[in-house]
Amino acid sequence: MDKIKAVIIDDEYLARQIILNYLDNQEFIEIVAECENGFDALKTIQEMNPDLLFLDIQMPKINGFELVEVLDKKPEIIFITAFDQYAIKAFEMNAVDYLLKPYPKERFLQAIEKVKHRLASRSAAPDEKMTRLQETLDENPARIDRVITRMGSKIHVIPIDKIHYIESQDDYVMVYSETGNYLKEKTMKYFELHLPPQEFLRIHRSYIVNISQITAIELYGKDTHLAMLKCGAKLKVSAEGYKKLRERL
């Protein structure tokens, strides 16, 4: 069997050192890169196509989960975190490997063993497991204040107050923002749940709008209206959406 190619992603030098130390004398695993943040990690993963990630969750600018979200092909992942009650619950529910800092060598090697098994038998594709984990995490009703998107190997962090509106496009949504338009693999329902309701409103089956962007609402046909946005867009407003908007404005 080939050596397992692994990447360590953690913003703390000493935290990366532990993994290197624990892996000393192991012949079946090779650390091909170390990354300090999600931006570097994305490039590295796309270039190196590793089999395994050691992934810290709390990192600057984008966190571990946000990185996983924008990965096309998901390698095996061992999550590492210091303290995050919600994430730990999500890991347990989906039987994803995770290590709690500080962790002993035995526990670390156990996690590696599991990965080895899975890679050898190719059972339970990691993609599937990650999708389930992502679903569990998405159910957490915590508000988001940024949306992470990816174009090629570049990650865009869109602060939600820069979003003009969101349009549904089959399995994706298109996020229209001050800095450009970005495709994101999430549902309208996800955004409805996570964007702050004081600032965003679902005005139509296909649209969630940033309320502060609306300049005028015009009648359009019998039951529908059009919302005029500062950016020039005109969005259909359903009867129900119109009712909600009227309450808000």
Partner 1 sequence: MISRIFKNELISVYFLVWTAVAVVHFFLLYQLYHLQLLPSLLDSLLFNIIFSLFGIGFWFMVEYSGTQNLTQTDSIIQHSTLCAISVTIWIGAGNFLLKSMLSDHLVYLSFLSNTLTFRIFLGIMYYGMMISVFYLVVSYRQLREKREYESLLTTQLREAELTMLRSQIRPHFLFNSLNSISALTLNDPGKAHEMIIKLSDFMRYSLTFQGESMSTLEKELYHIKLYLDIEKIRFGPKLMIDYQIDEDCLQWPVPSMILQPIIENAVKYGVYEATSASEISVTARLTMPTLMLLSVSNVVDPDIVTRKGTGTGLKNVERRLETIYKQRDLIKTYNKDNRFFAQLYMPSNG
197 binds partner 1 (CB under 8 A): no
- Indicate whether 37 belongs to the interface with partner 1 (CB under 8 A): yes
**φ/ψ (deg, to 5) at 160:** -65, -25
3-state secondary structure (DSSP) of residue 70 = coil
The burial class, CB within 10 Å (0-12 / 13-18 / 19+), for 25 is exposed
Is residue 39 close enough to count as binding partner 1 by CB under 8 A? Answer: yes
Residues in the chain: 249
d(CA 109, CA 25): 12
Please work out the total of residues on this chain that contact partner 1, with binding judged by CB under 8 A: 24
Part of the chain binding partner 1 (CB under 8 A), chosen from 126-134, 154-162, 202-210, 228-236: 154-162
Region binding partner 1 by CB under 8 A among candidate stretches 13-21, 128-136, 199-207, 223-231: 13-21
Q: In this chain, which of 12, 138, 185, 192 binds partner 1, going by CB under 8 A?
A: 12
Contacts of partner 1 in 95-124 (CB under 8 A) = 100-102
Secondary structure tally for the chain: helices H, strands E: 8, 15
Q: Which stretch binds partner 1 (CB under 8 A): 32-40, 43-51, 165-173, 176-184?
A: 32-40
Q: Which of 77, 42, 63 is nearest to 151 (CA)?
A: 42
Residue 36 binds partner 1, judged by CB under 8 A: yes
204 φ, ψ (degrees, to nearest 5): -160, 160
Is 15 a binding residue for partner 1 by CB under 8 A? The answer is: yes
28 sits near partner 1 (criterion: CB under 8 A):
no
Q: Which of 145, 178, 218, 240 binds partner 1 (CB under 8 A)?
A: 145
* Maximum distance among all Cα pairs of the chain, rounded to whole angstroms: 74
155-184: string of b/e by CB count within 10 Å (b at 16+)? bbebebeebbbbbbeeeebebbbeeeebeb
Q: Report the nearest approach of partner 1 to the CB of residue 173 (Å).
A: 19
Q: Is 18 in the site for partner 1 (CB under 8 A)?
A: yes
Question: Does residue 178 bind partner 1 (CB under 8 A)?
Answer: no
199 binds partner 1 per the rule CB under 8 A: no
CB neighbours of residue 50 within 10 Å: 20
CB nearer to partner 1: give 60 or 180. 60
Helix (H) or strand (E) segment spanning residue 169: strand 163-169
Tokens representing residue 141 in the block: 């009703």
d(CA 44, CA 35): 8
Nearer to partner 1, 113 or 161 (CB): 161
Residues 41-80 that bind partner 1 (CB under 8 A): 58, 60-61
Q: Is 170 in the site for partner 1 (CB under 8 A)?
A: no
Interacting residue ranges for partner 1, rule: CB under 8 A: 11-15, 17-18, 21, 36-37, 39, 58, 60-61, 82-83, 100-102, 145-146, 157-159
